[in-house]
Structure 1
């Protein structure tokens, strides 16, 4: 579940960053989520059942999201260590003139 939700949150952020219209974003997100579930060998019903379990057991949900945040931090650190452009995948690069002002 950790890897699935980490992948889902990355897809969600990428879509929010690149898709302008909410209806289109939702359509793209639903398609990406199905692909992520398929890659992990999980069907939608199994995912929803497991997610509902965590919604009904909030202490476990908190623990789950602590692990997800750690997972995402590790992934980001790995990307940053190999990234020479200053723009991580899924992010729009900052225009040259603006980099100095931050």
Structure 2
């Protein structure tokens, strides 16, 4: 089901976007949005387990490393990409539009399963 969300999101973005002009080594808007969506979900999970704040931070870091691995990147590329998008508010807005759609779709799927 997770792969279906990614495929639908990517198809929607690709169909609406033109050529991307970003420096080499910067994550695409789509990939950045998917990583951010996964990180926000990981933050939610880490904050809702019965451990102290320090332990939750350790759990979150573990989740983040797994997310980067799953997306074929690392935290350095992610941080540089985030800095890049902070410099271009319109591009950052597009990224967060995808994040919002992805998170909403995940929530709908979770609610449908219940």
TM range (shorter): 0.7 to 0.9
2:54 is matched with which residue? 23
Structure 1 residue 75 displacement after superposition: 1.1
Structure 1 residue 19 displacement after superposition: 4.1
Bigger-Rg structure (1/2): 1
Q: Could you list the runs of 5+ residues in structure 2 that have no partner in the other structure?
A: 1-31
Q: Does 1:43 align with 2:59?
A: no
One of 55, 69, 75 as aligned partner of 2:86? 55
Q: Does 1:11 align with 2:54?
A: no
Partner Cα distance (2:102, 2:79) in 1: 21
Aligned-residue RMSD, C-alpha: 1.3
Q: Could you list the runs of 5+ residues in structure 1 that have no partner in the other structure?
A: 84-102
TM norm structure 1: 0.73
74-83 vs 53-62, which deviates more?
Answer: 53-62
How many pairs align?
Answer: 83
Partner Cα distance (1:55, 1:70) in 2: 20
Partner Cα distance (2:87, 2:109) in 1: 33
Partner Cα distance (2:55, 2:40) in 1: 17
